[in-house]
Amino acid sequence: MLVNLLTFIQYGSLIILVVFDSILQNKISLWQQYISPHKMRVGFIIFFGFNFIVQNLQSTGAFEITINGQLVHSKLVSGQMPTIKNIQDFIGSQK
């Protein structure tokens, strides 16, 4: 949930930076002084900063396969990644 919110904020900020620059430059002095002249730098900071935060929130080492909302494999439970054959068996058993 938090990861989705941060991703939404990240892309929203980048869209505002690119699309609404001319509008905000006349309305907000902070934007005119600091953000507008350094759009590339601010864009990189937003993109890589949010990616760093989101990746740290997501990296649990977990890998789970669910089919129709039912858990069929969990790396945390089994301790190993599924093989292609296992995945095919999971899909075949759900038909």
Q: Which of 67, 70, 52, 71 is nearest to 7 (CA)?
A: 52
Is the domain of 11 the same as that of 34? yes
Range of the domain at 28: 2-58
Same domain, 69 and 53: no
Task: For residues 58 and 13, give the distance between their C-alpha atoms in angstroms, rounded to a whole number.
Answer: 21
Give pLDDT, residue 88. 86
Q: What is the pLDDT along the chain (95 residues), one digit of tens a residue?
A: 788 899 999 999 999 999 988 888 888 888 888 888 999 999 999 999 999 998 887 777 777 888 888 888 888 888 888 888 888 888 887 76
pLDDT computed for residue 95 by the predictor: 66
CA angle 37, 43, 47 (to 5 degrees): 165
Residues 30 and 73 in one domain: no
Q: Which of 41, 37, 44 is nearest to 21 (CA)?
A: 37
Q: Where are the alpha helices (DSSP H) in 1-95?
A: 2-19, 21-27, 29-30, 39-58, 75-78, 84-93
